[in-house]
């Protein structure tokens, strides 16, 4: 394989720093391990953000999400970790990370973590 999972996120300059606009990502194939049983957890992640000076580079984001596959995480912790890592990387004006986890023990879990306040789009 030419690529491997990595937590090394990359950025590029925001091409329209003078304007508020929203970037949205949908990551439908997230997996990690249940920290209690070691069984796989499956989720979809939705990320939306208003960039400031930097944007997240997509290939690095894909490899970053892939890196969670063999790690044990609680739903709440991994969602907040992803938000923290991205905020530290790009310091967005606003960011929301939503983890929508598949059923476990008859319960679906959705975790939403936010940074900043969303801009008022008309």
Domain ranges across the chain: 26-116
**Is 41 known to be catalytic?**
yes
pLDDT in tens, the chain (122 residues): 568 999 999 999 999 999 999 999 999 999 999 999 999 999 999 999 999 999 999 999 999 999 999 999 999 999 999 999 999 999 999 999 999 999 988 999 999 999 999 888 75
Residue 56 has a pLDDT of: 98
Residue 20 appears among annotated catalytic residues: no
Q: Which CATH class is domain 26-116?
A: alpha beta
Q: What is the pLDDT of residue 111?
A: 98
Q: Given 34, 52, 55, 70, which residue is catalytic?
A: 34
Give the predicted TM-score (pTM) of the model. 0.95
76, two tokens: 């709440």
């Amino acid at each position: 394989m030419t690529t491997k999972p990595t937590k090394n996120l990359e950025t590029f300059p925001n091409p329209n720093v003078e304007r508020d606009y929203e970037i949205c990502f949908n990551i439908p194939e997230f997996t990690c391990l249940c920290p209690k049983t070691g069984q796989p957890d499956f989720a979809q992640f939705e990320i939306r953000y208003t960039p400031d000076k930097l944007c997240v580079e997509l290939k690095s984001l894909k490899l970053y999400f892939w890196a969670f596959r063999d790690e044990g995480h609680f739903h709440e912790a991994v969602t907040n970790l992803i938000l923290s890592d991205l905020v530290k990387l790009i310091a967005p004006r606003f960011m929301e990370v939503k983890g929508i986890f598949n059923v476990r023990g008859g319960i679906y879990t959705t975790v939403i973590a936010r940074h900043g306040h969303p801009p008022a789009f008309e």
